[in-house]
Amino acid sequence: MSPGAETADWEIRRERAEDGPCIEILTEAGFGPGRYAKSAYRLREGVKAVADLGFVAVENGILRGSVRFWPIKVGQDQALLLGPLAVESSQRGRGIGISLMKAGIAAARDAGWHAILLVGDEPYYSRVGFVRLTSSELRFPGPVDASRLLGLALSDGALETLRGPVARARIDEPNCADGAPLG
Ligand SMILES: CC(C)(COP(=O)(O)OP(=O)(O)OC[C@H]1O[C@@H](n2cnc3c(N)ncnc32)[C@H](O)[C@@H]1OP(=O)(O)O)[C@@H](O)C(=O)NCCC(=O)NCCS
């Protein structure tokens, strides 16, 4: 955290159904409408986030940040896609983003997931252990800057064994399912 950053008066808790509208507003503010054009978004289209892996940061009843995880398939393996992760712009630099990710990663490990992928800035996500994915045998759908394709192993060697196309794990909402291929 930056020198002089405020103390943490927020708490991290699991996302509840009633958080949905606020999370939408946060995500819209953090990423804008351009998010729909991103390759990672294609993997979420028509698919529900993994229940019990969504976390929010709340301070005095106000939602400050959120993180969600989506199920994906990499070849024949199941994995998670981290994101969106968004923190209210006026509250950044307080450690909220890192705390949200740590809560989600711990819950994912407890739930038996083996690997998490994401598309994002390595200098930030490396703070919670993400590394650049270098395998040429892993094929992400759509255009992705390879230097932003990151992974975190939750069990020994889980990233090394991932190979094949990255695809949606399933479709939950067929009406809006015009996204990436299915695994
Ligand atoms: C990225 C984001 C979630 C970070 O949330 P946050 O609560 O401010 O993060 P934290 O307080 O846990 O961490 C802040 C630290 O990470 C650094 N950091 C933040 N974003 C970074 C980035 N994209 N690349 C490198 N470092 C970054 C900050 O400089 C700060 O460093 P310091 O601790 O040395 O001062 C927030 O800025 C955000 O919502 N951005 C808009 C949405 C977005 O772009 N999300 C995905 C990013 S790829």
Give per-residue pLDDT as tens, 11-22: 999 999 999 999
Report pLDDT for 183. Answer: 66
124 Cβ inside 6 Å of ligand 1: yes
Ramachandran angles phi, psi of 179, nearest 5°: -115, -140
To test ligand 1's pocket by mutation, which of 56, 124, 147, 148 has the most ligand atoms within 8 angstroms of CB?
Answer: 124
More confident residue, 180 or 45: 45
C-alpha 30 – ligand 1 centre gap (Å) = 11
135 pLDDT tier (thresholds 50, 70, 90): confident
111 CB-near residues (< 8 Å, 6+ apart):
52, 53
Sign of dihedral through CA atoms 31, 18, 67, 98?
positive
7 pLDDT tier (thresholds 50, 70, 90): low
Across 48-57, average pLDDT: 96
Across 53-73, average pLDDT: 97
99 CB-near residues (< 8 Å, 6+ apart):
8, 12, 57
120 CB-near residues (< 8 Å, 6+ apart):
82, 83, 85, 130, 148, 150
22 CB-near residues (< 8 Å, 6+ apart):
56, 63, 66
- pTM metric for this prediction: 0.92
177 pLDDT tier (thresholds 50, 70, 90): low
Report pLDDT for 4. Answer: 43
How many separate helices (H) and strands (E) can be counted in the chain? 4, 9
Across 48-56, average pLDDT: 96
> In this structure, which topology does domain 11-176 adopt according to CATH?
Aminopeptidase (3.40.630)
**44-53, 106-115, 135-144: least confident range:** 135-144
Across 42-48, average pLDDT: 92
96 Cβ inside 6 Å of ligand 1: yes
3 pLDDT tier (thresholds 50, 70, 90): very low
